[in-house]
Structure 1
Amino acid sequence: MAAASSSGKVRLTTLLLRLLGLLSSASCSAQVPLLLWSSDSLPPLASPAAGHITSNDQLSAYLAAALGSGPHTVLLFLQDKLSKDDFTVFGGVFGNKQDSVFHNLEAALQSSASSITVPALEWTGASSFPALFQETLGVSPVLVDAETLSHLTINTSVNNLLLINLPYCTGSHKSCKEVLHDNDEIIGNVLSVVKEKNVPYTAIYTGLQPSRVISEASVSDQSVSRSLLQAVEADVKAPIMFNQSGNPCIMLWAQNLFVSHESPSKWIDLAEETPSLAGSMCNNTNSLLVLTYPSGSILSFSMSQRHYPVSGRNWFTLDSVQLQSNSQTASFVGGRGIYAPAEYSFHCQSVSSFQDALLVPNNTNQETSKWSLNFIDFQIQGFRLANGTNFSYASDCAGFFTAGIWMGLLTSLLMLLIFVYGLHMIMQLNTMDRFDDPKGPSISVPQSE
């Protein structure tokens, strides 16, 4: 009996240790929920067991099976933050549906031909989901909203990845319930536009990162040197696209859109905000892209194209960039170095107004001197978009003869000149026409006294 009791205690202790191990491993991994539904049938996905965390590899394999064959139009509703608790607290798929703020989302799941719910999906970084769908479909995501989508012509014969960014309540003057309710309205409006166009679609609703992170293990249990070497992955942003009369005509992408007022050390990155495109326009000769940000700043890009007889082709130039913020207006001229063939896009690693300036301050505006602009990894196209949703071939601002190439050429030329001079000196050496013969008269060398 004593032996049996001892064996039972050992088994119980082992079971508790395993359970604690599972809990500790789960607490160290962040998860986001993912909802997927389609107007067509989707391959079945086994219901995960309680507490199971779906890995990115499992999701990638499922997406390859669901979206790998035939053209698909994918609507990716990507919220800044999302966790299962958001559904539990505010109703919906995992919560009380009587007081839910996700009415349109629930209706879409119920009316769809098939739907998949993943309560806990492994989160590895803010850029993992856009990159995963981009790799699966083989196309770049295009940032749209309900208004832009209503004027967009969708080619159903090719893959389309339409990205709809949704905000979260962090730092917002609205409550989380109001923000999520507004996001649900956006989802409903986008789905209504797609259904009106009679386009088969597959929709995904998930988050860039968890809104509520489970407490992680203490820092003392982790390797400090390893954590110092870890870096956060950069976001994969979709280009900003403006459509007019259903035709895409302006695209812009930038990793950062830094602006600064009087203090060069305090930069504001407008690329972190989602702008409105109201006021933009385009035609065969002029394009105007107006980005109105929630913070109150307005950034305008004015472009034009014309025919140059010398080159025999049309070229477009970024004529000016205007910034309006805090009732102040700053204007910069960009035609000096920002140009490309009309059928190309323009790309530059850095477009700034202060160092190697491609944006020249407009001296007629005194407020301009107080502002500084710095656009990182900047690309823009205002005419003749390729395939309607992609940038054309990029004309880069970096010339062929960069500083490094000039240094190499000048160094090689200097060494070549030294070699030629040495070879010339060797070839000028002549042998003596007389030699000292012991049998003959000696050679006399006069000496000066």
Structure 2
Amino acid sequence: MALREAAGRLVLLLSALAASAVRAGQVPLLAWSSQSSLWSPLAAPHEGHVVTETQLAALLDSALNNGPHNVLLLLQDKLSVEDFTAYGGVFGNKPDSAFPNLENALAAAPSSLVLPSVDWFAASAVPAFLKAKLGIAPLHVDQNTLQELKLNASLPALLLVRLPYTTGSSLMAPKEVLTSNDEILGQVLSALQSEDIPYTAILTALRPSRVVRDVSDLAPEKVGRQLLQKDETLSPLQYPKTGTPKILFWASNFSLSFNKTLYDLTNLTFGNNTPVNVDGSKTTQDFSLLEMKYENVGGNPMTVRFHVRNRRYNVSARFWFSLYLVEVIHGGGPVVNFTATQITAPSNYSFSCVQVSSFPASEALLIPGSDHGWKLTMTNFQFQSYNVTGLRFSYASDCAGFFSPGIWMGLLTSLLLVAIFTYGLHMVMSLKTMDRFDDPKGPTISVPQTE
């Protein structure tokens, strides 16, 4: 009984670890509209940034508030950015692209938004978000039934079109399936445009697919900028900006949010010609300060400060730096404090962490000083304020523990197999032979019969 309970708990644990691993995938999201100026040029994040559920909700909320309320949601079962890089190309420059209708729609749309990497859990919540925002249930249609619909520009409508990644025939190649889905998309868009009604279209997927790109058929001159790729080359923020750096800071996503309003500071912070001002920063033997000033964030100036202390610990016989406080000032508002925990490393190292956030669900390393409503998120965070040599970070002290989910799964599986083997060996060794046997040559027992 105890062994069964242990096995049951192990199965539950392995299932939870597998679910968390699957959740780490990303899917692309593409949106375009017949109305212009729905998204600013800075709305699209740089390459490598993973859009979270809060950020995606802010982008869609802005478009639905200012744009058409006739929304077309094209939901594919599985899709990844590798599908575009493997089977798509630059708009109009690749005749064998699997997405001609999609590329033409994006190129001709007055406003569009391309998000290469969206957390698939956030993307799968898009139908529920649109339903709550528009206040209507989605209407499941296809390219045939859509032609019979009569839309009204004054009444909201949420049209849902499902695009399967695979079909009933397992002999179809992924490119053929994607091409078939693109043809369906073209027919749906033609039916909408024939009614001359403003609309907003969103294409995303429920889960990521896995595509191995075949580059054998690509000539060297064809390898260039692909759909969903970015041109920006971002570099770590350094202080001072010229000369020998003393502080280095990098994050693939650096954003703040307040009352469902997102302030993305990534493109304003990292790069060669960013507007951030770090002249107020300073470093000493015991203390360093990285002060980042932005002239216009959401219509107001913003200041973000990282407070770092450097101390010597006799136990380790070396200096350790620790980021212990983050301050945010937006406009003329009060100073918002975040107390940092466990962001520490030897002074000759840098500190790195996949997620440094104030959200409790992500094992928050930043604790708000009070209930001020501000949230801070930094993805792929890396920081160094001592012993900086050039524009390269030193060896990183990572926040992740030694035992990763994969190691735990291997250990628990091994323990389960050892337990089963031990139990079986114990059962075999417990077998006993009988100490008495019947003698077939001995006298038989006779039982007299009485009348």
TM-score (norm 1): 0.46
TM-score (norm 2): 0.45
